[in-house]
């Protein structure tokens, strides 16, 4: 597991997938993502299957249960944790079966697993009294440690089942809100304050070090904290290229300068009115590297291509199309094709 690296010049998925059938999903992902398939999340199954609910299956000695507003720390294992564990077991069985059928067991091809990051989990999960875990620094530390240990164990289990190296993606969609202090509280007067960036950095650094596998941190929100992620220990940072602003470019460039690779969200997560060709999808990426002054060879040597975000809201047909489009785009980048040249 620790010998893996996150491949570049390849296509992969972000995480979530439409539908409720783990075997169908695993078959498509293993078939369509030959270089970096991922263990999908199927939030359409409900309780325990969404981003936060999945964490209930990973946390060590910190059960989650449901509340009227979401998930809450519990004193004992309840229905939410049992359901999450059962769903994850089914997903693992389905992926292992697809991996075997594809003849890939024991190869050196990495597999990617996803989990909610510690700061997003702490921003969404509640303490017993209803406040966000984020408001209690001791509880935040305990939750982050429990999550990181659970993710490390999960990655080890996947490595054992597949006989392949495993890389980890941490999803941190709420990270900008955590830093900005824009999360609502149980009342107007009890909203979580903005977390100082050094504290957030320490939480993320500690979690990544505990996981002890190459980590991709994904954030498809606006206001991505580029400097924090560059120092976090992540090997790769993923984001929605469509959300980039001019002010973000320096941060992206510093990631590349600092040796951090990129997972570029270039394929729409929901089917557009017109299916884009590879030139349409490539243009934002080529424009970005051109503006940063990097050679276009970086598109094959320093980046992976993904959908803009998770695919749970798409049709299965579009989800499959999105993965194929991402693959086509990586081939175009590898060939040095120029989207500005029209035949």
DSSP sequence for 87-122: HHHHHHHHHHHHHHHTT-TT-S--EEEEEE-HHHHH
Helix 249-257 crosses helix 278-292 at what angle (to 10 degrees)?
A: 80
Question: At 215, phi and psi to the nearest 5?
Answer: -120, 135
Where in the sequence is the domain holding 202, given as residue range(s)?
22-262
The whole-number pLDDT of residue 1 equals: 42
Q: Is residue 134 part of a domain?
A: yes
What span, in angstroms and rounded, lies between the C-alpha atoms of 186 and 129? 10
pTM of the model: 0.96
The whole-number pLDDT of residue 2 equals: 43
Q: Nearest Cα to 120, choosing from 185, 70, 72, 173?
A: 173
Handedness of CA 156, 162, 167, 170 (dihedral sign): negative
Handedness of CA 23, 163, 88, 214 (dihedral sign): negative
Mean pLDDT (the chain, rounded)? 94
Number of domains the chain contains: 1
What span, in angstroms and rounded, lies between the C-alpha atoms of 268 and 18? 14
For 106: left if phi > 0, alpha if psi spans -120 to 50, otherwise beta; the answer is left
Q: Is residue 315 part of a domain?
A: no
The whole-number pLDDT of residue 342 equals: 62
Q: H or E segment at 291?
A: helix 278-292
Residues in the chain, pLDDT under 50: 1-2
The whole-number pLDDT of residue 294 equals: 97
The whole-number pLDDT of residue 186 equals: 61
What span, in angstroms and rounded, lies between the C-alpha atoms of 137 and 20? 36
The whole-number pLDDT of residue 324 equals: 97
Q: Is residue 131 part of a domain?
A: yes
Question: At 303, phi and psi to the nearest 5?
Answer: -135, 155
Q: Is residue 194 part of a domain?
A: yes
Q: Is residue 162 part of a domain?
A: yes
The whole-number pLDDT of residue 130 equals: 85
The whole-number pLDDT of residue 32 equals: 97
The whole-number pLDDT of residue 3 equals: 54
Residue showing tokens 């993923």: 238
* Residues 6+ away with beta carbon under 8 Å from 283: 339
Helix 316-334 crosses helix 22-32 at what angle (to 10 degrees)?
A: 20
Q: Is residue 305 part of a domain?
A: no
* Residues 6+ away with beta carbon under 8 Å from 197: 179, 225, 227, 228
Q: Is residue 119 part of a domain?
A: yes
Q: Is residue 125 part of a domain?
A: yes
């Amino acid at each position: 597991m620790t010998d893996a690296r996150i491949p570049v010049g390849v296509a992969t998925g972000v995480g979530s997938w439409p539908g409720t059938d783990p075997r169908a999903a695993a078959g498509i992902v293993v078939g369509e993502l030959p270089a970096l398939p991922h263990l999908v999340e199927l939030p359409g199954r409900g309780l325990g299957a969404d981003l936060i609910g999945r964490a209930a299956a990973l946390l060590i000695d910190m059960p989650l249960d449901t509340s009227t507003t979401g998930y809450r720390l519990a004193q004992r294992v309840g229905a939410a944790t049992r359901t999450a564990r059962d769903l994850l077991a089914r997903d693992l069985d389905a992926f292992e079966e697809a991996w075997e059928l594809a003849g890939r067991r024991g190869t050196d091809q990495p597999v990617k697993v996803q989990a909610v990051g510690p700061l997003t989990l702490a921003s969404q999960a509640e303490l017993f009294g209803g406040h966000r875990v984020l408001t209690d620094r001791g509880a935040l530390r305990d939750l982050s440690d429990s999550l990181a240990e659970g993710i490390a164990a999960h990655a080890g289990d996947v490595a054992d089942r597949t006989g392949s190296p495993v890389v980890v993606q941490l999803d941190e969609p709420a990270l900008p809100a955590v830093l900005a202090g824009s999360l609502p509280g149980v009342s107007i007067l009890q909203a979580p304050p903005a977390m100082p960036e050094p504290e957030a950095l320490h939480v993320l650094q500690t979690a990544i070090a505990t996981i002890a596998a190459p980590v991709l941190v994904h954030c498809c929100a606006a206001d991505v904290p580029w400097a924090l992620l560059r120092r976090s220990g992540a090997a790769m940072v993923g984001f929605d290229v469509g959300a980039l602003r001019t002010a973000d470019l320096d941060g992206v460039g510093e990631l590349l300068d600092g040796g951090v690779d990129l997972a570029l969200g270039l394929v729409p997560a929901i089917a557009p009115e017109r299916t884009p060709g590879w030139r349409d999808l490539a243009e934002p990426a080529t424009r970005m590297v051109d503006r940063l002054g990097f050679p276009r060879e970086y598109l094959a040597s320093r980046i992976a291509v993904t959908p803009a975000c998770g695919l749970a809201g798409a049709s299965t047909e579009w989800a499959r199309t999105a993965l194929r489009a991402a693959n086509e785009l990586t081939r175009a980048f590898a060939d040095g094709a120029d989207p500005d040249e029209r035949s």
